[in-house]
Amino acid sequence: MTLDELGPRICILGPSGSGKSTLAQAIARARGLAAIHLDQLHHLPDTDWQPRPQAEFVALHDAAIQVPSWVIEGNYSRCLPQRLDRATGVIRLETPTLTSLYRYFRRSWFESGRAGALEGGRDSVKWLMIHHILVTTRLNRGFYDRVFGALTHPKLQLSSPRELAAFYAQEGLER
């Protein structure tokens, strides 16, 4: 499966720390698409990741997916049906839990200005996020397995960091 086969509206799903934001930025640069980071829509800028009111987030999400072309990354299952209705292709990233946890600590402690970061915010280690990676993500894997399996869209699953790196190389993408 190639980027061209995925069409002009690409939805990227995957656990925290799987590389969704970085891939979305790389695809956006290479294809001239708008990159939409759902964490940025879900959280208020210039805060320590304070969520927006639910209705405001849904309105921002629904407006963002109405443009003709985009690459959108994030899960937020409550908005997934309308996002998938507009998507022309889906990429699912899978990463081992320990890799996700390692990447979360690394970006919180050592990386600034990363793709998908909250404007005016700062990544920091939070118990809620550790719990999300260790517990919630594991519980959600079955749900996303079923959703991805039922898709009729052009789709691509990259199940390891090695497969993701090979996709970057195949498509000439730069991190």
Nearest-angstrom CA–CA distance, 24 and 102: 20
Mean pLDDT for the chain?
91
Per-residue pLDDT at 120: 66
What is the side-by-side order of every strand in the sheet holding 70-73? 34-37, 70-73, 9-13, 89-93, 155-158
- DSSP summary character for residue 4: H
In the chain, the number of structural domains is 1
Reply yes or no on whether the pLDDT at 11 is more than 90: yes
What is the span of the domain harbouring residue 50?
Answer: 3-171
Query: Which one has a higher pLDDT value, 107 or 2?
Result: 2
The predicted model gives 119-145 an average pLDDT of 85
The pTM of this model reads 0.91
**List of long-range contacts for 127-136, beta carbons under 8 Å, 24+ apart:** 129/16, 129/104, 130/101, 130/104, 132/16, 133/15, 133/16, 133/17, 133/97, 133/100, 133/101, 133/104, 134/97, 134/101
Q: What are phi and psi of 89, to 5 degrees?
A: -165, 155
In this predicted structure, which of 57-66, 107-116, 143-152 has the lowest mean pLDDT?
107-116
pLDDT tens-digit readout, 12-44: 999 988 999 999 999 999 999 999 999 999 999
- Contact by Cβ (8 Å): 95, 19: yes
Please state, in angstroms and as integers, the Cα–Cα distance from residue 4 to each residue in 10, 27, 85, 128, following that order.
Answer: 10, 11, 19, 38
Per-residue pLDDT at 60: 97
Write the CATH number for 29. Answer: 3.40.50.300
